[in-house]
Amino acid sequence: MKYIVCIKQVPDTMDVKVDPETKRIVREGVPSIMNPYDYYAVEEALRLKERFGGTTIAISMGPPQAEAVLRESISLGIDEAYLLSDRAFAGSDTLATSYTLSQAIKKIGDFSIILCGREAMDGSTGQVGPELAEHLEIPVITYVSKIINVAENQMECVRLLEDHYETLKSPLPVLITVIKEINEPRLPSLKGMLKAKKAQIPTWTKQDIGGNDAQFGQDGSPTKVVEIWRPEIKKEGKIVTGEPDELAEILFQELKKLGVA
Partner 1 sequence: MEIKVNKEKCTGCKICVDVCPAGAIEIQNEKAYINEKCTLCKLCVSECPVNAIEVIGEEKKVSTLDLSKYKGIWFFAEQKKGKLSHVAYELLGISLKLARTLEEEVCGVYFGSKGEDAAKELFSRGADKVYVVEDTSLDEFRQDVYVCLMTELVKKYKPNIVLASATMIGRSFLPQTAARLKTGLTADCTDLAIDPETKLLQQIRPTYGGNLMAKIICENHRPQMATIRPKAVEEAKPVGNRNGTIVRDDFTSFNATCRVDLISKQEVEQTIDLQEAEIIVSGGRGLGDGKNFDMIRKLAKLIGGAVGSSRAAVDAGWIPYPHQVGQTGKTVKPKIYIACGISGAIQHLAGMSTSDYIIAINKDPNAPIFKVANLGIVGDIFEVIPKLIQKLESK
33 contacts 9 by C-beta, under 8 angstroms:
yes
The partner residues of 149 in beta bridges, in order of sequence, read 156
Which of 109, 164, 198, 200 touches partner 1 (CB under 8 A)? 164
**Rounded Cα gap, residues 4 and 38, in angstroms:** 12
Least distance from C-beta 230 to partner 1, angstroms? 6
Least distance from C-beta 104 to partner 1, angstroms? 16
**Rounded Cα gap, residues 162 and 144, in angstroms:** 13
115 contacts 44 by C-beta, under 8 angstroms:
yes
- Residues of span 229-248 touching partner 1 by CB under 8 A: 229-231, 233-242, 244-245, 247-248
Least distance from C-beta 79 to partner 1, angstroms? 27
59 contacts 69 by C-beta, under 8 angstroms:
no
Count of residues near partner 1 by CB under 8 A: 99
Which of 167, 189, 203, 205 touches partner 1 (CB under 8 A)? 167
Name the residue nearer to partner 1 (CB basis): 65 or 189: 65
Closest Cα to residue 128, out of 41, 57, 56? 41
Cis bond before residue 173 (omega within 30° of 0):
yes
Which of 35, 56, 60, 85 touches partner 1 (CB under 8 A)? 85
192 contacts 77 by C-beta, under 8 angstroms:
yes
Q: Contact region for partner 1 (CB under 8 A) — 40-48, 75-83, 166-174, 185-193? A: 166-174
- Residues of span 199-228 touching partner 1 by CB under 8 A: 218-219, 221-228
Using the rule CB under 8 A, is 34 a contact of partner 1?
no
Using the rule CB under 8 A, is 24 a contact of partner 1?
yes
